[in-house]
A = this chain, B = another copy of it.
Amino acid sequence: MPKFSNQPDFEMRVIVVLCFAMLLSNPVFAQKKSKKMGAKFVLVIHGGAGTILKENMTPEKEKAYMDKLTEALIAGYKVLKDSGTSIQAVQAAIMIMEDSPLFNAGKGSVYTNDERIEMDAAIMDGKTGKAGSVAGVRTVKNPITAAIAVMNRSEHVLLTGEGADAFAKKSGCTIVDTSYFFDLNRLQQLRKVKEQEKAVLDHDGEQGMHTDSSAIEFNVDLNPDKKFGTVGAVALDVHGNLAAGTSTGGMTNKRYGRVGDVPIIGAGTYADNATCAISCTGHGEYFIRNVVAYDVAALMKYKGWSLEKASHHVVMEKLASLKGMGGLIAVDREGNYTMPFNTPGMYRGAIRADGKVEVYIYR
């Protein structure tokens, strides 16, 4: 468990700055330049928080993450630059990360205890207050598209299980065979966790995280690597509207239909033009109990705190004091953004109207 205070700055802070001369000279953008230049917009993304340490990373793997985060940012940037909506930008960025095996969402989702994939996703529109989410989908290539379909094409907010898969299919989301999600690394990761679990159980479960002495023996150490893979994006568009989206494969070795904070509006995902857009990553149960995403908004709305102060308080003080590990990304309607986390690392990045890309991994 990392110490949350007095933690030394980690070795590496990586900033990739790309100028997009090519992009800006692209006729599509040049045409609309007068309309958009000067307009404020920003996209912030994360690819999960956790015990992400430089010493456990190869240069190749590090580069792969940096490149994929950059690709996701540019995909969303193109949407925003072209006067697209914050919802569209969030979707574009998240789909890039869902399609990559690097992140625990979509293609890279971790396995459940019974070696299946169960994915959750959510979207919220800060302009309308509308929201959509899905929990436990197994056949939707990009769960964020299913969440958007729930928001736009139903009067519901949360659909679950096979019903959510069926709704996504009916809504025109791309459906894939479950073999699409097969990933040998993830399967090995699950089996390693199950072996560790068995070892712990054989040792009287004394290292378990149970909450009372009669606890059922399951998920003894939910997440031995303390990596909370999830992807998310928040955006402010040129129309002044905020949006937030999040997508995850959940926890390795999860069972009993466990659902974390991601599809819970107010916990893992929240957006309101009056305050902010938030997407979280971390130990989901802590984020649910503490209604983390909405709490940031409530501190801004009811106490008049800045985005930075409210986000920092919730992640670095409140959650950290409870040992609730994770982080969040946040943007307000002025275009201010912040990416606090109380773990050693969080895959994250941001891009503003000037096209400057920031991508970071470690503290």
**Residues in chain A within 8 A of chain B (CB atoms):** 124, 129-131, 135-136, 151-164, 166-167, 170-171, 209-212, 214-216, 218-219, 222, 255-260, 264-267, 270, 284-285, 288-291, 294-295, 298-299, 302-303, 322
| B154 near A289: Cβ-Cβ < 8 Å | no
Given A171-B216, A302-B298, the answer on whether A161 and B160 have CB atoms closer than 8 Å is yes
Q: A129-B322, A163-B256, A167-B216 are in contact. List 12 more A-B contacts (CB 8 A).
A: A124-B289, A135-B135, A136-B257, A153-B210, A153-B212, A154-B211, A155-B219, A156-B285, A157-B284, A158-B260, A158-B264, A299-B302
How many angstroms from the CA of A212 to the CA of B131 in the assembled complex? 14
Beta-carbon nearest neighbor of A149 in chain B: B216
Say which residue of B154, B298, B303 sits within 8 Å of A215 (CB atoms).
B154
> Closest CB-CB distance, A254 to chain B, in whole Å?
8
| B265 near A163: Cβ-Cβ < 8 Å | no
| A291 near B265: Cβ-Cβ < 8 Å | yes
Given A129-B289, A289-B265, A302-B303, the answer on whether A222 and B257 have CB atoms closer than 8 Å is no
CB neighbours (8 Å) of A136 from chain B are 160-161, 257
How many angstroms from the CA of A216 to the CA of B156 in the assembled complex? 12
| B288 near A291: Cβ-Cβ < 8 Å | no
CB neighbours (8 Å) of A216 from chain B are 153-154, 167, 170-171
> Closest CB-CB distance, A85 to chain B, in whole Å?
14
CB neighbours (8 Å) of A267 from chain B are 265-266
| B288 near A158: Cβ-Cβ < 8 Å | yes
Q: What 3 A-B pairs come out closest when comparing CB atoms? A: A163-B257, A302-B302, A163-B256
> Closest CB-CB distance, A175 to chain B, in whole Å?
14
| B256 near A166: Cβ-Cβ < 8 Å | yes
> Closest CB-CB distance, A301 to chain B, in whole Å?
8
CB neighbours (8 Å) of A270 from chain B are 291
| B291 near A291: Cβ-Cβ < 8 Å | yes
CB neighbours (8 Å) of A291 from chain B are 265-266, 270, 291, 294
Say which residue of B160, B285, B289, B322 sits within 8 Å of A135 (CB atoms).
B160
CB neighbours (8 Å) of A290 from chain B are 129
| B298 near A157: Cβ-Cβ < 8 Å | no
How many angstroms from the CA of A130 to the CA of B264 in the assembled complex? 16
| A131 near B288: Cβ-Cβ < 8 Å | yes
How many angstroms from the CA of A160 to the CA of B129 in the assembled complex? 25
15 A-B interface contacts by CB (under 8 A) = A151-B211, A153-B216, A155-B210, A156-B258, A158-B259, A160-B259, A161-B161, A163-B255, A167-B216, A264-B266, A266-B288, A266-B294, A294-B294, A294-B295, A298-B302
> Closest CB-CB distance, A13 to chain B, in whole Å?
33
CB neighbours (8 Å) of A156 from chain B are 219, 256, 258, 285
